[in-house]
């Protein structure tokens, strides 16, 4: 009788999940999407835009200082989007995290926390094979 240690079993399960994820979008033509992220009419000046498409297909890209982004390897279909702003602060290492980051001059207030994750943001788009540009406007 073959017995597997928990560590080995966990490794096999992780490998199986990884292989299954790779196979989900096999044969699907992935695309590159560019655009701009704005909040209250102002560009989001840094951070990450995250796309979660069909069957959990994940892709992400950096937001530039003018609010523009490029995300490669996007699987077409219904896609949920999350925006994670880069932290901004005074650089203090006091450990006091009670203050929210202040908006920088010419930018909108910090994004509400719900926009961080694609599952809670409410930002859902239909990405088609012809989609090349997607403007993400948060009010």
Helix ranges restricted to H, the chain: 6-24, 118-121
Task: Please tell me the pTM assigned to this model.
Answer: 0.69
In 3D space, the residue among 119, 117, 113, 114 whose CA is nearest the CA of residue 101 turns out to be 113
Q: How far is CA 130 from the centre of its chain?
A: 21
Structural domains in the chain, sorted by start: 27-87+107-139 (2.60.40.10)
From first to last of its 139 residues, the chain has per-residue pLDDT tens of: 444 455 544 454 444 444 444 445 467 899 999 999 999 999 999 999 999 999 999 999 999 999 999 999 999 999 999 999 987 655 555 555 444 444 444 556 899 999 999 999 999 999 999 999 999 999 8
Rounded Cα gap, residues 106 and 44, in angstroms: 10
């Amino acid at each position: 009788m073959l017995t597997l240690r928990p560590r080995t079993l966990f490794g096999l399960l992780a490998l199986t999940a990884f292989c299954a994820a790779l196979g989900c979008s096999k044969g699907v033509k992935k695309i590159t999407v560019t655009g701009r992220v704005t909040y209250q009419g102002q560009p989001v000046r840094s951070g990450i835009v995250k796309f979660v498409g069909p069957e959990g297909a994940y892709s992400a890209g950096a937001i530039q200082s003018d609010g523009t982004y490029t995300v490669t390897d996007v699987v077409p279909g219904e896609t949920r989007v999350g925006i994670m702003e880069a932290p901004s602060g005074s650089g203090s290492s006091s450990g006091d995290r009670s203050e929210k980051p202040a908006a920088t001059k010419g930018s909108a207030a910090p994004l509400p926390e719900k926009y961080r994750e694609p599952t809670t943001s409410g930002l859902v788009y239909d990405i088609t094979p012809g989609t090349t540009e997607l403007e993400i406007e948060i009010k």
